Amino acid sequence: MPHLSNIYFRWHSLTQRLLLMLLVSGLIACGGSGSSSNIEIGDGNKPVANTWAWVSGANTLNQAGNYGLLGSANSSNQPGARIASASWQDASGHFWLFGGKGNDSGGALGNLNDLWRWDGTNWTWVSGSNSVNQAGTYGALNTPNAANIPGARLDAVTWIDASGDFWLFGGEGYDSTGNVGDHNDLWRWDGTDWSWMSGSNLRNQSGVYGTQGTANISNVPGGRTGAISWIDASGEFWLFGGWGYDSGGALGNLSDLWRWDGSQWTWMSGSNLRNLSGSYGTQGTADNANVPGARNLSVSWIDASGNFWLFGGFGRDSVGASGNLNDLWRWDGADWTWVSGSNSVNQSGTYGTLQTADAANRPGGRSASVSWVNSSGDFWLFGGSGYDSSGNNGRLNDLWRWDGTQWSWMSGSSGTNQSASYGTLNQHDATNVPGARSGSAGWIDSSDHLWMLGGKDTIGHYNDLWRYKP
């Protein structure tokens, strides 16, 4: 799939999945599995269940960033409108945001490499530039330096290790020479400085796969954007798919599964060639031959048993057709299982009754959604670019919950391209709802409130921050 300018993109908040896994493995001690966040905003009313509140940012499109002073929190600070940022939470419950495609301090539109922290009340500009399209400063491998900074980019993948350090891989953006392409660079943020840890400082690198199942210092995934990732109970990082470069240097959708053990990459499953069709097998049955089709801009999460789950994205179905997917997969560490949804692209959604689980319910095929996992292990999905209940293709603002067995449509519209209803700032109300969008960032707090920032509709980019009370 080309990098379509009208579908910018996820993600990915990975953080809630990450912290859930760290909790499962005993690496973080705190209340609530989805997050260690203690953030609560005094919103002037007791939040009503199943309602949204607009918390921060503008209710109009394409806002420039208000950066303030580097390192200083201020009530007037605000990230500019953007899509496809990287997001995560630290052990103190602060929300972090890196880059994406959006508007800088002067309102110029481009790729960003600014790093922001939200403390529950104010934003702080922590690192990076307040101008778009910055080249990366890599420094020496494995060496932190105050001058180091990843180049401006969107649709990178992220995770947090047991020490609380933030890791970032790939994405589409600017390399060390200022050229634009898909990256395979791996970075670590230790809370103060960036370190370039693996991969190339140049764009559009082919993958070096080696032998499947065997770690090697020369192995490295090819440059890619819109992949998905997760952390297992041992703290190892896993990477799946995306849009990028295969072993032969060909560009396309990928279905390769990789593991990073902290020093080396291992190719674990899938193909080393682009555009693989899905091998679905029998629904509900794990099989070594099963593998999701090549795709990008999916969403994913980890359950309490350590299983990895994958939903949708833009890619290849069982016959190799390309489009938006609504298939749900589970990886148990050895095999894939097709759990729900269709093995064909571009399926309409089956919504059923609002806030009612049903075996027949399922979201339509979509990509570039945002997702969360709550303390009960339920998976939540919002919006993206895809198909509504009538088979229309557009931006979505529907909110779904997967309880491990069935889908429930929880909020929003069953149609496409819906406008937002903002209501009063910091006030929950049953009539409030974010507008249809793709490419938002997301977090979840210790009360299982879902938080969402930005995204893109059919006209422009948002910088609004929303909170949903389940």
Q: Output the pTM of the full model.
A: 0.91
* pLDDT of the residue at 28: 30
Q: What is the pLDDT of residue 45?
A: 56
The whole-number pLDDT of residue 47 equals 76
Considering the domain boundaries, does residue 13 fall inside one? Answer: no
Q: Which residue has the tokens 């953080």?
A: 15
Does some domain include residue 76?
yes
- Give the model confidence (pLDDT) of 252-290 as tens digits: 999 999 999 999 999 999 999 999 999 999 999 999 999
The yes-or-no verdict on residue 23 having pLDDT over 70 is no
- Identify whether the C-beta of residue 169 lies closer than 8 Å to the C-beta of residue 156: yes
Our count of domains for the chain comes to 1
Q: 9-41 burial string, b = 16+ CB within 10 Å, else e?
A: bbbbbbbbbbbbbbbbeebbebebbbbbbebeb
Query: Higher-confidence residue: 437 or 48?
Result: 437
For the chain, percent helix, then strand, then coil, each to nearest 5?
0, 40, 55
Residue 55 has pLDDT above 90, yes or no: yes
CA distances for 429 relative to 68, 401, 413, 426, 434, angstroms: 32, 20, 16, 10, 12
Tokens representing 98 are 């890196």
Q: What is the domain extent for residue 373? A: 19-135+231-469
CA distance 331 to 306: 9
For residue range 160-181, what is the model confidence (pLDDT) as tens digits? 988 899 999 999 999 999 999 9
- For residue 288, give the CATH number of its domain: 2.120.10
Q: Is residue 111 part of a domain?
A: yes
Report if residue 434 sits inside a domain: yes
**pLDDT of 18 strictly over 70:** no
Residue at 342 is within a domain: yes
Task: State how far the Cα of 83 lies from the Cα of 437, in Å rounded to an integer.
Answer: 9
Average of per-residue pLDDT values in the chain: 91
Residues facing 296 on adjacent strands:
314
Query: What per-residue confidence (pLDDT) applies to 6?
Result: 35
Residue 31 clears pLDDT 70, i.e. is over it:
no
- 122-126, 129-133, 373-377, 453-457: least confident range: 373-377
Among 196, 146, 143, CA closest to 168:
196
Instruction: Tell whether 3 is covered by a domain.
Output: no
* Runs of H (alpha helix) within 79-181: none
Could you report the per-residue pLDDT of 74-98, keeping only the tens digit for each? 999 999 999 999 999 998 999 999 9
Residue 6 within a domain: no
Give residue 125's identity as a one-letter amino acid code.
Answer: W
- Strands (E) across 119-179 are located at 123-127, 153-154, 157-160, 166-174
SS (H, E, C) 338-386: EEECCCCCCCCCECCCCCCCECCCECCCEECCEEEECCCCCEEEEEEEE
**pLDDT value for 162:** 87
Band (pLDDT 50/70/90 cuts) for residue 235 is confident
Q: pLDDT tens-digit profile of 413-442?
A: 999 999 999 999 999 999 999 999 999 999
Residues 182-211 have pLDDT tens digits of 999 999 999 999 999 999 999 999 999 999
| 3 confidence band (pLDDT: 50, 70, 90) | very low
121-141 residue pLDDT tens = 999 999 999 999 999 999 999
Does residue 410 lie in a domain region? yes
Residue 404 has pLDDT above 90, yes or no: yes
Q: Which residue has the higher pLDDT, 326 or 231?
A: 326
Question: Is the distance from CB of 417 to CB of 436 less than 8 angstroms?
Answer: yes
Which of 2-11, 22-31, 39-48 is predicted most confidently?
39-48
Grouping H, G, I as helix, E, B as strand and the rest as coil, residue 16 is helix
What would the pLDDT profile of 328-359 be if each residue is shown by its tens digit? 999 999 999 999 999 999 999 999 999 999 99
